[in-house]
Amino acid sequence: MTAPIMSNDRLSIAMERTGQWVFSQEIPTDVVIKVGEANFSLHKFMLVAKSNYIRKLVMESDDKDLTRIDLSDIPGGPEIFEKAAKFCYGVNFEITVHNVAALRCAAEYLQMTDHYCNNNLAGRTEDFLAQVALTSLSGAIVVLKSCENLLPITEELKIIQRCIDVASLKACHEAIFPSRSPTNWWTEELTILDVTFFGKIIMAMKQRGAKPLTLASAIITYTERALRDLVRDHSASGIKSSLEFEDSDVGVQQRDILESIVALLPTEKAAFPINFLCCLLRSAIFLKATTACKNELEKRISVILEHVTVNDLLVLSFTYDGERLFELDSVRRIITGFVEKETSMAVFNGGDYRELCSTAIQRVAKTVDAYLSEIAAYPDLSISKFNGIANVIPKGARKVNDDLYRAIDIYLKSHPNLDEIEREKVCSVMDPLKLSGEARLHASQNKRLPVQIVLHALYYDQLKLRSGVDDRNNPTDALTTRNQLKADRSLIKENEELRSELMRMKMYVTDMQKGQGIASSSHKSSGSRKPTFFSSVSKTLGKLNPFRHGSKDTSNIEDAVDITKPRRRRFSIS
């Protein structure tokens, strides 16, 4: 076993001395190697001794005196070929984590393997990979980064897979047992990779059982680095125009990165903070990502919408310069998805209508009303968009409508050219009976509101005054008030029907008396008349009238009817 080793060492020493002798004696070169734009004047016998590929070119060439060889497609280009040539001449050079993958690919291309010559370049690079580069997370990441420009030969040589295996294993170990601070330092290491290689590491970590929060930490760090101008810099000062950016090469590249990141998100939808998801969705809208990408983000946000803030919703609503609104359909779909989820859960649990409005829905309702107040002042916000978002929240989720009233008032103030019908449409999303005392007082004096809303506020205050209840410091019992209104309207309608029926009956009796000649005998009697049966019924009904002291009091209707001047109405006897 020692003899071959000694002979190999002697051969290497001899080759090194030969190389030095060649350079020192300045022996004329006999071949020019062309690699791209670079030309290398070298000696055939030095190259053939290490490279089986060059030996075949020389031996199989039709030209007896081959003087030029084109190796422009060698992996790594001129820089790596220069190091391979130095290896052939026995000149020392440094193998690092940055060039080891390229040197390994060049050795495979030039067939500088141990099968052709012992201790060749391929063996040296393999030893470095196994003993140095792939023993740490940082080394594996750097080697994997260098493989981005060496495809597909690095895949064929299994260099990429080996790097992914080492990186995923080391990352999972660091997530559980951190070896340095900060504990998430390993997530920063992954940010130098292309999104394709990053995705492969994330998938490998999933297969190794990494927790969703661990994966989420790595994805958030990578996204903030890869989409810095869109995610972290909310002002996006580097973006001049949406149209120019989305159609540029940078915009297309970032759209691809964004869609790849969304595809990597763990199935656990609550693994990411809602503000991060909102930033991703805003970027997806800005970059015009695919519908599937935007729908996935909307679903994830709707699941955890109870944790949303007004600022999170505003992130979704405005362009990066804050000058104009985005399409608000995403916000409406997110709120709709959340309400449907909460409603279905309540129904599944056997709840009634009041239980459908859970605490989460009530919390979201307050946030949505505050959000409407923020966007109401923008002139390009249409009534349909405003009402579409407000109506998504169930009526029962708003115990008090003061926040919604504030949003409506701001909208009416910012859109002064609305007519009466349009103002009524805006106010239709609000229940005037759910306003607090202060809000009703303000509404009764608000000239921007439609007359109908003002009358509702005034009528409710009158009901409170009549009942002797002051709700200035208590929430409004809107259900009781609404029932009282319905009862009052029913009594008014029934009273009107009774009055009409009574008048018809009186006219019928008068006609009967006139036809039988009884009317004359009744006129001869003195001022004290004998009351008839119908007049007694009339007085009794009048006493039962709840509005007898109001404008519709029927208690003072005279029993006798002047038949000389009947009203010109067509009555029917039923």
Type of residue numbered 514: K
DSSP characters over 379-415: TT--HHHHHHHHTTS-GGG-S--HHHHHHHHHHHHH-
Mean pLDDT of 49-59: 88
Place of tokens 């125009």: 241
Please give the distance of CA 213 from its chain centroid, rounded to a whole number. 19
478 — pLDDT class (breaks 50, 70, 90):
low
For 200, 210, 218, 219, 572, the CA distances from 175, given in Å and listed in that order, are: 17, 8, 10, 14, 89
20-31 residues labelled b (16+ CB within 10 A) or e (exposed):
eebeeeeeeeeb
For 135, 291, 519, the CA distances from 538, given in Å and listed in that order, are: 105, 71, 20
pLDDT, tens digit (0-9, with 9 covering 90-100), for 389-424: 999 888 888 888 888 989 998 999 988 888 888 888
d(CA 4, CA 13): 14
CB-neighbour burial class of residue 425 (10 A; exposed 0-12, middle 13-18, buried 19+): middle
Sign of CA dihedral 405, 406, 408, 409: positive
Give the residue with greater pLDDT, 30 vs 496: 30
d(CA 573, CA 235): 77
Nearest residue to 286 via CA among 264, 318, 256: 318
Tell me if 476 sits within 8 A of 434, measured CB to CB.
yes
- In the DSSP assignment, the letter for residue 62 is S
d(CA 498, CA 490): 12
Task: Give 105's contacts (C-beta < 8 A, 6+ positions apart).
Answer: 75, 76, 150, 153, 154, 157, 159
93 — pLDDT class (breaks 50, 70, 90):
confident
Strand pairing class (38-42; 31-35): antiparallel
Q: Is the peptide bond before 394 cis (omega within 30 degrees of 0)?
A: no
**3-state SS class at 303:** helix
Nearest residue to 124 via CA among 71, 177, 86: 86
pLDDT, tens digit (0-9, with 9 covering 90-100), for 498-516: 777 778 887 877 777 777 6
pLDDT at 7 over 50: no
Tell me if 282 sits within 8 A of 315, measured CB to CB.
yes
pLDDT, tens digit (0-9, with 9 covering 90-100), for 320-367: 766 667 668 888 999 999 888 888 776 555 555 444 567 888 888 999
Phi-psi region of 550 (alpha: psi -120 to 50; beta: other; left: phi over 0): beta
d(CA 349, CA 343): 10
Mean pLDDT of 357-378: 87
295 membership: H or E segment, kind and range: helix 291-303
535 — pLDDT class (breaks 50, 70, 90):
low
